[in-house]
């Protein structure tokens, strides 16, 4: 793998999590993990030893709440966020793999208008849950193939509020723990980056509401080509919740099993010490959630 490709890798699947979270009627919260957030990265491979950072600015917008049958109700949701992340690769080997540690902390303005659904318009700002990744392991399989495995933990320390014992519309973070194992495979050769990143969320119960959000699977896909200083390609995401939401021992509604399909372009430029990347993920399909699309502009560099 070339050094130029490594220079843009600052956060892998394990620590990728600049997160979307917005309430929808009949559901306590949306997914902790932001669908498609690791797209563009060769998530199967850690960069060379050192300290890395990414400053990711993103806008997430949605205009329809979609039920399980595909029927939509109008609302407006927008998150405008800054998501700094840190990655330390100390140069240690564990089980024959390169070892890394990661940290992400998102701060966002959370703008929600549910007046069309009989609600209200609110705007708030605050921190999302801190995301720690104490272990990222990456193996070089040879012939351009890499694979990684990692575990991330979402701390229940972000901005959340309650009204009459229920999460307020102004809440941004989740008031519960989430464990997030992931594994990825990357093929990196001749400027190509083909990556499949698989992420799983396992949520604990919110002690205040006795609400437990179902477990979910996310697949981030990357196909890019680096030519000189430029990188171009196509990215995508498929997300699906595979267990029901529960509250007080009962299934909530139809289980609130969300599903997303997102696809879009990537454009990047390597300035040498820093890599600038633009990504757009357009919503193609949504069930049991808000039809959110994402625009990312990020700068990555090594200390």
Fold for domain 3-302?
A: Porin (2.40.160)
- CA angle, residues 71, 34, 4, in degrees to nearest 5: 135
> Quick one: DSSP state of residue 131?
E
Provide the residue-wise pLDDT of the chain in tens; the chain has 303 residues: 332 223 223 233 333 333 333 333 334 666 789 999 999 999 999 999 999 999 999 999 999 999 998 999 999 999 999 999 999 999 999 999 999 999 999 999 999 999 988 889 999 999 999 999 999 999 999 999 999 999 999 999 999 889 988 888 898 899 999 999 999 999 999 999 999 999 999 999 999 999 999 999 999 999 999 999 999 999 999 999 999 999 999 999 999 999 999 999 999 999 999 999 999 999 999 999 999 999 999 999 999
Q: Where are the domains of the chain?
A: 3-302
DSSP 87-119: EEE---EETTEEEEEEEE--EEEEEEE-GGGT-
Global confidence as pTM? 0.90
Separation between Cα atoms, residue 264 and residue 276, nearest integer Å? 17
């Amino acid at each position: 793998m070339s050094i130029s490709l490594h220079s843009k890798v600052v956060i892998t699947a394990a620590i990728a999590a600049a997160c979307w979270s917005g309430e929808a009627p009949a559901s306590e919260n949306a997914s902790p993990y932001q669908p498609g957030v690791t797209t563009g990265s060769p998530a199967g491979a850690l960069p060379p030893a050192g300290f890395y950072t990414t400053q990711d600015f993103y806008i997430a917008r949605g205009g329809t709440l979609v039920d399980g049958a595909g029927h939509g109700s109008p609302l407006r949701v927008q998150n405008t966020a800054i998501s700094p992340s840190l990655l330390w690769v100390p140069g240690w080997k564990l089980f024959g793999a390169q070892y890394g540690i990661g940290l992400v902390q998102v701060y966002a303005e959370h703008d929600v208008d549910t007046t069309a659904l009989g609600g209200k318009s609110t705007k708030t700002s605050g921190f999302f849950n801190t995301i720690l990744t104490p272990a990222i392991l990456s193996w070089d399989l040879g012939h351009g193939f890499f694979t990684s495995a990692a575990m991330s933990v979402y701390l229940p320390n972000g901005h959340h509020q309650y009204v009459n014992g229920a999460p307020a519309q102004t809440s941004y973070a989740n008031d519960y723990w989430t464990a997030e194992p992931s594994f990825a495979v990357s093929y990196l050769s001749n400027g190509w980056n083909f990556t499949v990143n698989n992420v799983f969320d396992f949520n604990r119960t919110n002690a205040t509401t006795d609400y437990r959000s179902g477990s979910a699977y996310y697949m981030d896909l990357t196909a890019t080509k680096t030519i000189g200083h430029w990188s171009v390609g196509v990215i995508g995401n498929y997300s699906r919740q595979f267990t029901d939401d529960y509250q007080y021992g009962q299934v909530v509604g139809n289980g609130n099993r969300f599903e997303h399909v997102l696809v879009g372009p990537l454009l990047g430029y390597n300035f040498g010490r820093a890599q600038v990347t633009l990504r757009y993920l357009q919503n193609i399909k949504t069930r049991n959630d808000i039809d959110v699309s994402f625009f990312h502009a990020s700068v990555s560099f090594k200390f």
